[in-house]
Amino acid sequence: MDSYALLRPLLFRLDPETAHRWTLAALDLTVKLGPFNPFKKHLPKLETEVMGLRFPNPVGLAAGLDKNGDHIEGLAGLGFGFIEVGTVTPRPQPGNSKPRLFRLPEAEALINRMGFNNKGLAHLAGNLERLGKRGYILGVNLGKNKDTPQEKAVEDYLVGLEKVYPLADYVTLNISSPNTPGLRDLQHGKALDSLLSRLDETRESLAQTHGRRLPIAVKIAPDLSPAQLEEQAQTFLRHHMDAVIATNTTLDHSAVQNLPHGLETGGLSGRPVFDQSTSVVRRLHNRLGNRLPIIACGGILTPEDAIAKFEAGARLVQLYTGLIYHGSGLIDLTLDRLKKRQMHPTGEP
């Protein structure tokens, strides 16, 4: 039995946010152990180039676990090829009142309505400035403050882009979190068109200033009709977006409605979002081919789940809920599985 399997029953006795804080604090301690860090490992070589960036491996941390960039080095030490911090908003905000995070162990799922609790852009940028040389790719996931009026939402993303431009390898526009009123409206029609057009324009001028074009990814919801997806895909291409992250959490709780906490308000993640999320990846890939890389996220609980995302057309994958249920061993197992697949693409030993 791996050590996380032993630890999990203890962690699951704590309320989810406390367990989360303690685990990250323990991880920070391992960084201080330097060469004696028990997580230090020899990682298989699985380099891949996406968005013009060289990823040491295609398995990343999804946004939301390290919203403030307070634990980047500890998380990178677990073997991720890329880490996405945030969602960060221009100003600090407390998020929704607690409880706002629920475990549904029978379904290997979580429901959250955190509401972008974070310490704001200045704090996150300070953390990024202090980082030393990095052996991983760093993304920053940008959002809007809850009290920013909808018609000024674009300004929040622009402030974020400008602030982290010299510090990040890529940014993600989070327009798909279900816990900020009105946010998902930015995913459609004129609102999406003008958001992306302003960001692309500003990126062009920042590229002149910094001598480097920063890739922009857009993170979408799994709850989209085929027509909405089609419209989005066209808009992403028109405004030179560099990747799509598919997907965020779902509002469809039908798979868990009979379980304890199944009807809590918020976004559902983990096993129940896998199929819906993978079909978004497949649909987008069929439509876009190689014109826009897809970063798959949603319900990856085993290495086979990750393989299914690549087979549906993803170029990179991200984990969140899988780490809560299976610990960092999921990263190692997935990397091993990918290495074997690379060596034996037809499945033969």
Mask: binding to ligand FMN, 147-186, rule CB under 6 A, as x and -? ---------------------------x--x---------
- Rounded to 5 degrees, φ, ψ at 227 are -65, -40
From 176, 177, 269, 328, the catalytic residue: 177
Shortest CA distance to 58 belongs to which of 71, 49, 69?
Answer: 49
Q: From CA 126, how far away is CA 314, in angstroms rounded?
A: 32
Q: Which residues within the stretch 206-245 sit at the binding site for ligand FMN (CB under 6 A)?
A: 219
Nearer Cβ to ligand FMN, position 47 or 304?
A: 304
Nearer Cβ to ligand FMN, position 207 or 324?
A: 324
Q: Which residues within the stretch 312-331 sit at the binding site for ligand FMN (CB under 6 A)?
A: 319-322
With CB under 6 A as the contact rule, the residue among 50, 59, 78, 101 that binds ligand FMN is: 101
With residue 109 as reference, give the H or E element that holds it.
strand 109-112
Q: From CA 242, how far away is CA 212, in angstroms rounded?
A: 14
Q: Near ligand FMN by CB under 6 A, which window of 56-64, 73-81, 124-132, 228-236?
A: 56-64
Contacts of 100 (CB under 8 A, 6+ apart): 17, 112, 113, 114, 115, 266
Give yes or no for residue 56 binding ligand FMN (CB under 6 A). Answer: no
In the residue annotation, 177 being an active-site residue is answered as yes
Q: From CA 121, how far away is CA 130, in angstroms rounded?
A: 14
Give yes or no for residue 62 binding ligand FMN (CB under 6 A). Answer: yes
Shortest CA distance to 157 belongs to which of 217, 113, 209?
Answer: 217
* Other residues' Cβ atoms within 10 Å of the Cβ of residue 339: 15
Q: Near ligand FMN by CB under 6 A, which window of 46-54, 63-71, 159-167, 328-336?
A: 63-71
- Catalytic residue annotation: 177
**Residues of the shown chain interacting with ligand FMN in the complex, contacts defined by CB under 6 A:** 62-64, 67, 87, 101, 110, 112, 114, 116, 141, 174, 177, 219, 248-249, 269-270, 273, 297-300, 319-322
